[in-house]
Structure 1
Amino acid sequence: MIAYHFPPFQGSSGIQRTLKFATYLHEHGWEPLVLTITPKAYESTSANQLREIPENLVVERALGLDSARHLAIRGRYFRWMAQPDRWLSWWPGAVWSGMRMIRRHKPAAIFSTSPIATAHMIGLSLCKRSGLPWVADFRDSMTEPGYPRNPKTWEIHRKLEHETVHHCTRAVFTTEPTRQMYSQRYKDIAPSRWAVIENGFDEENFRDAELDLPAVPLSRPGQITLLHSGILYPIERNPRPFFDALAMLKHSGSINGSRLQIILRATGNDDFYRPLIAELGIGDIVRLAATLSYRDALQEMLRVDGLLLFQAASCNHQIPAKIYEYYRSGRPILGLVDPDGISAKMLSDAKARHIADIASAEDIAKTIPRFLESLSAGLEPGISKQFAMKHSRKSRTKELALLLDELAKS
């Protein structure tokens, strides 16, 4: 299993997919071997989830550097040093380590997961050298019209994407719309080579978080607290219309900082949002908060009054991985999404009643008061646990195991 995101990495929900696959595959007769990158490559690390790595799991960490942090001179580096991404230097050492692992352990299949795109480069190289069947896991699409924005990067990503889908034995996606997009893009690929395994939540993590959960809510009396937990991209999850709506509501006297608190936890873009929040005068309502340990982040989800989900039209075929954890938390969700996207459908299926167009400050400004009123009156039930339990990481791992069983028989 070739994965950039693996403990002690901190800062992305992408870590959970590989970690939980690696944890639960043994229940289905598969013993994973993990090939990841040296922790030095990560901008942020935490030891909190290292204890979740199964004791007998083989984990190899190949040397890799971040071009922007380790290879730059006065903050500048050659563009070729970051193609297809800033961790290109991981590729040679990982291929060498991967072939050594293949010779030693004689695995039945290769699995690589992106982003980061270099992981698929490694998977491609190992597949060609070993002849083993290869599962290429696309947590996000590698290319779309206008993404990546740099034309040269787009060209390199599209070439790698083309090679990946034509050499892998199965291409796995996290949503059905993404599978359909790739199926249309590569019509020469047999439908049997595409598969969908959605993301999910881990019940064991939630049970652990609930063990010593404080009985009192996070909010002060008379106050409502809403949370967005995780990366908030300036384009793909653009919160500007949301900020504008808050400013409108504050100006009209509908909300203020004593009645409403919004926590934006670990956005990854605090420096971009901080001046915007100050400019709109909503700093008493919106708080940018630092990264927490995964356990603490789950506890925060369980204690707030409501959760915020952002997803723009440019990602209509993608589902934010955190939606499944939001489901399991049981907290009410305010969806700020494109009405025609898969995220809007997922929220509707979960019976989330308050969904606004992420691009419309006016629509958001109409929806927020209704959501707050419903929360204050105790009329917002949240997501049912029965619905949430359909989306556990254990069930997703079983889907991967069945796919691997197919490959082993062929």
Structure 2
Amino acid sequence: MKRVLIITYYWPPSGGISVLRSLKIAKYLRQFGWEPIVFTAENAHYPYYDESGFKDIPQGINVLKQPIVEPFKIFKWLTGRKKEDSLNSIVQVRDKKQNFLDKLGIWIRGNFFIPDARSLWIKPSVRYLKKYLKENKIDAIFSDGPPHTNNRIAYHLAKDLNLPWLADFQDPWTQADYYQMMYITNFAHKIHSKMEQDIFRKAKKITIASPSWKKDLESIGAKNVDVIYYGYDEDDFKDLKRDHDNNFFDIVHIGLLGIDRNPEGLLETLSQIKSSRKIRIILAGQVDQQVKKELSANKSVEVIYKGIISRKESLQLAMNAHLLLLPLNKADNAAGRLPGKLYEYLRTYNPILCLGKSNGDAAKIIQDCQIGNSFEYEDLTGIKNFVETLLSQPNSIKIDKSVIETFSNENQTRKLSQYLNEIYEPQF
């Protein structure tokens, strides 16, 4: 069996969506002729923790770890946050109004920790892995970013040891929406851009999470780019049972709800709908303080905040929903935004209301699966009519489950294994 080194910062006990990319790939790779060897961080400062991810680690897999030094304790001290406070996506989801120290911390992060806050992990990891690879043969490297520190480690190994490398992007690098929010100077931008171009030149294959972002990467020089979707894992749903509370009409959102996807006008639209069932919005995960303020100002629709809950609880909540809310980032590259939650939404077989680019990648997938509809944020009439139809005709949506199945983690890993086979160079 061929062997691939997977370089990933996120690994159990990390929670959240980012860990699932490499974890689910590692889970299914053996089925397609590749043995994964995972390199990850020891004592990492994860935004969330969830022990449930350990069940997906293949039995007997070799997991290598190298200690990591991260600046988050200093940032929390500098900005007056508590030790236990999450810093996940602080440029998008704010627990308080940004002050000077917040902005200073973000500026330092974007201009001194390049490519990201895990950059101090690069040199010791390269040294460790070079020593390991002298004694242990591998056939390819797979690295997954962000954090793009993963891709920088892989770059040095591929360059110095002449190993075939597949560089994966969950999100873009310099084209990412949050990159624009980090006060990056022209000097730092040149460094970020050079590192990004290094990946384009050295990687034999590049994958990214959406078709529009594939085109975006190609527009700045990336070659041999293809799409690997986040996907969903059928195993995560086998013990879940749908339990609708038909006394209410529950609209559910799971995950981060940032200022850049604030659903302004949604509550006002819902308050105009006449129904025998009370409409509720249920939010699980971090919610930006300004979004909370605006939601609380409208008393016509009940809003329930679940806070940060376990992955299994989140999936069960999505299973119980009458309608799943998918607000996309209001950003220049929003057409390519395909949140990981989309695929888990698809697998619940519950209707989806997407807010964002009506001609974007998410809208196309939802349309192809016949599982809901997408509207621009300002299309309040369209949103109102869609919800009213669901309330009066709950079985009006005829879902195409065969299309949804193509987005399973197993099927996406099959595709990835074919890309690894393409770059594989047999050693005789």
TM-score (norm 1): 0.86
Residue 247 of structure 1: aligned partner = 268
Matched, 1:163 2:163: no
The equivalent position to 1:50 in structure 2, one of 34, 54, 62, is 54
The structure 2 residue matched to 1:4, chosen from 3, 9, 12, is 9
The answer to whether the 8 A contact 1:306-1:331 is kept is: yes
How many corresponding residue pairs? 388
Match of 1:130 among 161, 168, 188: 161
- Cα 1:254–1:143 change in 2 (3 A) is farther
Distance 1:55 1:121 in 2: 29
Q: Is the 8 A contact 2:232 2:343 kept in 1?
A: yes
Cα distance in 2 for residues equivalent to 1:222 and 1:269: 26
CA deviation after TM superposition for structure 1 residue 279, in Å = 3.2
Give, as a single letter, the amino acid of the residue that structure 1 aligns with 2:296.
A
1 CA distance for matches of 2:129 and 2:259?
36
Aligned equivalents of 1:58, 1:32: Cα separation in 2 = 8
Secondary structure, counterpart of 1:120 in structure 2? helix
Distance 1:290 1:100, change over 3 A: farther
Alignment partner, residue 318 of structure 2 = 301
Counterpart position of 2:291: 273
Residue 28 (structure 1) shift: 1.5
User: What letter matches 1:245 in structure 2?
Assistant: L
1:353 Cα deviation from its structure 2 partner? 4.3
1:262 partner SS: strand
CA, structure 1 residues 39+232, in 2 after alignment: closer, same or farther (shift >3 Å)?
farther
Report the CA distance between 1:313 and its aligned residue.
Answer: 5.0
- 2: distance between equivalents of 1:368 and 1:287? 21
- Is 1:82 the counterpart of 2:113 in the alignment? yes
Deviations 1:152-180 (A, max 9, x none): 35443322211111111111112222222
Residue 180 of structure 1 corresponds to which residue in structure 2?
215
Relative distance call for 1:380 and 1:335 in structure 2 (3 A) is farther
Unaligned runs of 5+ in 2: 1-5, 80-100
Contact map agreement 1:198 1:396 (CA 8 A) in 2: yes
Q: Deviations over 1:216-241 (max 9, x none)?
A: 42x3x431001111122322xx12xx
Q: How does 1:1-400 map to 2 (within 5 A)?
A: 1-11=6-16, 13-70=17-74, 74-75=78-79, 78-79=108-109, 81-144=112-175, 148-149=179-180, 150-152=183-185, 154-186=189-221, 191=223, 193-207=224-238, 209-210=239-240, 213=241, 216-217=243-244, 219=245, 221-235=246-260, 238-239=261-262, 242-250=263-271, 252=272, 254=274, 259-266=278-285, 268-281=286-299, 285-311=302-328, 312=330, 314=332, 315-358=334-377, 360=378, 363-381=379-397, 383-400=399-416
Work out the CA distance in 1 between the residues paired with 2:398 and 2:11: 31
Q: Secondary structure at the match of 1:6?
A: coil
Separation of aligned partners in 1, 2:177 and 2:326: 24
Return closer, same or farther for 1:264/1:123 CA change in 2, 3 Å cut-off.
same
For 2:125 and 2:392, the matched residues in 1 are separated by: 53
- The amino acid across from 1:114 in the alignment is G
TM-score by length of structure 2 reads 0.83
Shift of 1:94: 2.0
Q: C-alpha separation between the residues in 1 aligned to 2:247 and 2:75?
A: 52
User: Structure 1 stretches of 5 or more lacking a match?
Assistant: none
